Structure 1
Amino acid sequence: MKKTIPIGLLIFFSVLSLFVGVQSISITHLFQFSDLEQLVFWNTRIPRTASLIIAGATSSVCGLIMQHLTQNKFVSPTTAGTMDSARLGMLVAMLFFPASSILIRSFIAFIFAFLGTYLFIQLIKKIPGKNQIMIPLVGVMFGNIIGSVVTFFAYQFQLIQNMTSWLQGNFATVTKGDYELIYVSVPILIICYFFAYKFTIVGMGEDIAVNVGLNYERTQMLGLLLVAVTSSVTLVTIGGLPFLGVIIPNIVSQFYGDQMKQTLWITAVSGSLFLVMCDILSRVIRQPYEVPVSLIVGVIGSIIFIVLLVKGAKE
């Protein structure tokens, strides 16, 4: 498959995203917007589409990095406890720093996301045989344990509704002035590209990495830091996007291979394309209402994830 096809599709659906929604905006009015159309276009549609592209790209790349760090095709921030750990950080921020800014909440979520992911990495080192199916299942159980703790304390302190509304993946509330933190993810994507070759070597195993002179532990910690930052920023600004980091890297690897430096950008583009398409579907499936995009991503992603698991088990 040519790499230009996903790029062309992303441009097409991104433009389409600017004109789809409750407030109808005709593409024929592009250079003569009414006041209402101009307000909607610049304050909601442009920020929404930009955040979709960035969130889809970073979530997919995070999954790609996690899969190399753990040497497992089914690991991502949503199946390794990263997102659930970030949720725990959000709960701590709400309990102890209720008036904190979004930057402070993101920092606390980052700390917990990093610690949770590091704990998961140490946990899977104890699993004998490195079973491809067992590791993501352990990750899901690990995340569910953390999620249960979050739910318990959120219920005790009457924060269930706040946590649910805050962390649900939904781009309907993205407006100019309250989403710009997600741009932090853009330079992280660039950093990931420069270290992609090293992450590829880490994905071959510790022995090979050490033999070629690579500091395995340091590179792994760098990868965890990058994943934790992007995951926490995405969670705070957008919400959870289940399975996105698992399915996109796997689909891309089937067409373009596993050399991360060659597949990183096409993985980012494919993740953005998938998320933009899901968001458009969430807007038109039940007009004039919107279905949370996390529901669409979760339904489609879970089906693909199950297919990948079955396929992996047969192999």
Structure 2
Amino acid sequence: MNVEVLIMETVRLGEVLDRVKKELDSTMAFWIKHSHDEDHGGFFTCLGCDGTPYDDLKYIWLQGRQVWMYCRLYCELPRFCQPEIIDAARKGGDFILKYAQVSPLEPKCAFVTTRDGRPGRVQRTLFSEAFVVMGLSELGRATGLLHYTKAAWKLMKHIVHWVRTDSSGLGKPSLSGSVLHSAMAVPMILLCLIEQLEKSTNKQGSAPDTSTDGVGHGMEDHGLDLQELGQWCEDQIFLHVQVFLLKVLHSRGIKWPLTTCFDGASNSLWAMCLTDLLPNSHLARFYLLSNLSFFHHAAKPLPCFLLLYSQNNHKH
């Protein structure tokens, strides 16, 4: 790449980042103005273009996501470190803690509730719970309040149990004629939760202690080994690799990496090669996205990926 092209790309990157900043500010202003339910807590998420709610049902997926987004912006971007944002996030988190679980005796969460928190529907999947974990753990990080973090870890333990030990808690009956299958969405969302829990606790893989002193003592507190769980997720995801594509690559003299870990620059380069060779391949897109997801582990990131993540350094 010559100097002129590099300068042009740098200018273009600045334009893109400026547009993203403006879009984010506009989006946040809209949701802050229109989505907060001051009477019951939580958020209205079915909004028209003018901000008027056309439905007051509260979907737990979206409640957890909005709590997470408010808290992540509050923590990461100084211009969003505002009392109004964190107060709304806390009200959303409190709504989740009070109403998301269908029964106080069961960890299963509703898919949707009424405005005042009465459960309306349950899905036999783990995604409501996953977004509750994401929201509460980031809320714990933003506020420093341990009860949010503890609730997130407790629910995470149930999610892992459903995935790896016994799925009956999801409400799926065990039928003799059912066909075993592996949904890639499950290990992918678990990887997101692992990254989130690592970020929101005081050290990698460390769960908060459940004793009254509030000091974290390690993974054993909730019986979760995040490193081992991450490896399991990676193994499950690679079961979906399309072998015939590897044969295509082999015929071109390109070898699949011996390691399946996402170790920074070398795997980023591999993802670029794969995407270039197979631009319409789901595998290529997955491998590229996987590298982006694990980018924070890269010791020597490539410049092209550094550009994609430069907004983290500029703190727009």
TM over 0.5: no
TM range (shorter): under 0.3
More strand by share: 2
The structure with more radius of gyration: 2
More helix by share: 1
- Per the normalisation by structure 1, the TM-score is 0.24
